[in-house]
Amino acid sequence: MPSRAAPNTLNAIAALTAIAFALLGALAAACSSTDGRGEDQGLASLSTLPRSDVMRVQVVEHGQWGDTAFELEFRRDAQPDVSGIRLTGQWSEGERKFQVRSRSVRRRGPVTPDVLHDLDQILTYYRSDPDESCDDTRIVTVTQLRKGKTVATQQLVDKSCGESVQVRTTFADVFARLTPEG
């Protein structure tokens, strides 16, 4: 004769399984970026950034000679535009982010579609998981903003010294060309 514990045990397992699937679904939704209608958008490329959005790119050079960092904000209006600031601080391994102590005066300048294409190629290279032949580390955090709110973010790590990237313009080149506001 079957025991009464078996159906209760099966019900408990079924309930726990349902809870686990609900939690996994909630976690997947939280990790995905959406457009407000529930459609996954991911990060736009710099050259296809929607006109209303901002793409923030923080570049941290972390190495044996210390840490340097800058942050660029790209906007696509009639003419693409970029602004940037130099960041002073230190990389925190524990928090996996750059601890900013101070920011420079904002700099601004135009950017061409060719430059945006080069920068998209660099991001594609970083996403390809390049080899780790360099002692220094470049940490690139890309954040897409819409109406001031984060839509998507991604942190990329490059330990290759960028030796096999074949582009004319880098993020550092773009920052160096900007002129102070005001």
Domain boundaries, the chain: 1-31, 46-180
pTM for the model stands at 0.73
Cβ 105 vs Cβ 180: under 8 Å = yes
Environment class of residue 134 by beta-carbon count within 10 Å: exposed (0-12), middle (13-18) or buried (19+)? middle
Query: Distance of CA 78 to CAs 6, 49, 75, 118, Å?
Result: 68, 12, 10, 20
What local confidence, expressed as pLDDT, does residue 30 receive?
A: 34
Pick 53 or 79 by higher pLDDT: 53
Average pLDDT along the chain: 79
Token digits of residue 94: 């524990």
What local confidence, expressed as pLDDT, does residue 27 receive?
A: 32
Averaged over 57-62, what is the pLDDT?
Answer: 92
Q: How far apart are CA 29 and CA 14, in angstroms?
A: 23
Q: Among 147, 109, 119, which residue's Cα sits nearest to residue 59?
A: 119
55-80 exposure pattern, b = at least 16 Cβ within 10 A, e = fewer: bebbbbbbeeeebbbbbbbbbbeeeb
Range of lowest pLDDT (89-93, 102-106, 112-116, 129-133): 129-133
